[in-house]
Each structure stands twice: as structure tokens, then as C-alpha cells.
């Protein structure tokens, strides 16, 4: 089992977490089962497609923050917070709105998708996000919270900035 507050591994016979002191009320890790996934729901083609979309989104987050900050938009911290909030609300449309239009079009083209497929892809991403959130809720309880730290940033200037502008604008 793990502490629901700090994540420390704890024995099932403990009453309190040895790291943070939180009372133990969880269920043992060996009793947690994930529901089986039907073969029709996740065929290989859809899995690759979703993986490609999510990969593009993750890569784009770093560039989004830099681009919006550099092009006079919101601060990168605000954009990252909004992106994370939207992720844990299973709101793929809001996540996508945070990405500059030129970057979305570029990513779609690079991955071989048509622009008119975007709404369908966003619906699929929202379903996957909601499934993940539901799994976290069933494992950790509905009162779990997300926290994050921005560990590093890079300044993009000069030729590197020009290259970003040329690529996505």
C-alpha cells in the first residue's frame, strides 16, 4: 500500500504513515485490479494514433510556453497551469486552444493527420484522459490533488527564436 497523502510505501498493518503521519485508510495494492480492456476498443491502429497525438501534445507543451511567452502572450507559468488544469479536467479542447494555431497545423501535418480529423481526435483524447482520471479516483479516492514544479526553462533568442517563428507562424 501507499500513503494517500505523500505516496510513501507502507505496510498494510500500519496505522499511520511513517513519513508524514497521515492515518492509513487505503486498500492494499494487491487488491487493486484494473478493468480489462476489450480488444475492439483499443485496436493497434487507434492506439498508435492516440499515442502520436499525445506525443505531439506533450512535445508541444514546452514549445507552447516558450512561444506564447516570446510572442507577447501569457506568461509560460500561466499557460502551463492552464494546460495542467485542463488535463486533469479531461478538457482536450482547452488544452488545444493553448497551443498556437500554426503549431497545431504543423504538428497535424508532421504526423500525417488532416485538419478535419482534429475534433474527433480531441474527443478520443478526452475519453482517454477521463478514463485515466477515473482510474486515479478509484485508486486514490476522489479527493486527490496534483502538484508540479517547473524545474527548468530555456531562453530562446536570436537565430533560435527566428527558427521557431519561421516554423510555426
Q: Which residues contact 4 (CB under 8 A, 6 or more apart)?
A: 22, 25, 26, 140, 141, 144
What average pLDDT does range 66-89 have in this prediction?
A: 76
Q: Which residues contact 34 (CB under 8 A, 6 or more apart)?
A: 135
Q: What is the pTM of this model?
A: 0.52
pLDDT at 161 > cutoff 60: yes
- The pLDDT-based confidence of 13 (bands split at 50, 70, 90) is confident
- Here the cell at position 115 is 485538419
Q: Name the more confident of 152 and 35.
A: 152
Share of the chain above pLDDT 70, in %: 70
pLDDT at 91 > cutoff 90: yes
Q: Name the more confident of 34 and 121.
A: 121
What average pLDDT does range 123-129 have in this prediction?
A: 91
- The pLDDT-based confidence of 130 (bands split at 50, 70, 90) is very high
Summary mean pLDDT of the chain: 75
pLDDT at 20 > cutoff 70: yes
Integer Cα distance of 150 and 5 in angstroms: 21
Integer Cα distance of 142 and 80 in angstroms: 23
What pLDDT, on the 0 to 100 scale, is given for residue 105? 84
Q: Are 19 and 8 spatial neighbours (Cβ–Cβ below 8 Å)?
A: yes
Dihedral of CA atoms 162, 165, 49, 36 in degrees, nearest 10, equals: 90
pLDDT at 33 > cutoff 60: no
pLDDT at 67 > cutoff 80: no
Amino acid at each position: 500500500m501507499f500513503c494517500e497523502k505523500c505516496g510513501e510505501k507502507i505496510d498494510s498493518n500500519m496505522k499511520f504513515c511513517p513519513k508524514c503521519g497521515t492515518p492509513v485508510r487505503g486498500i492494499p495494492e494487491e487488491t487493486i485490479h484494473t478493468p480489462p480492456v476489450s480488444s475492439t476498443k483499443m485496436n493497434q491502429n487507434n492506439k498508435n494514433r492516440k499515442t502520436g497525438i499525445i506525443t505531439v501534445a506533450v512535445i508541444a507543451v514546452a514549445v507552447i510556453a516558450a512561444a506564447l511567452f516570446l510572442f507577447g502572450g501569457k506568461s509560460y507559468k500561466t499557460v502551463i497551469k492552464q494546460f495542467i488544469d485542463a488535463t486533469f479536467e479531461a478538457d482536450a479542447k482547452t488544452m488545444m486552444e493553448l497551443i498556437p494555431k500554426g503549431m497545431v497545423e504543423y504538428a497535424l501535418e508532421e504526423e500525417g493527420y488532416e485538419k478535419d480529423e482534429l475534433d474527433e481526435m480531441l474527443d478520443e483524447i478526452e475519453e482517454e484522459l477521463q478514463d485515466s482520471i477515473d482510474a486515479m479516483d478509484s485508486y486514490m479516492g476522489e479527493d486527490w490533488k496534483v502538484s508540479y514544479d517547473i524545474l527548468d526553462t530555456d531562453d530562446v533568442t536570436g537565430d533560435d527564436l527566428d527558427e521557431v517563428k519561421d516554423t510555426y507562424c
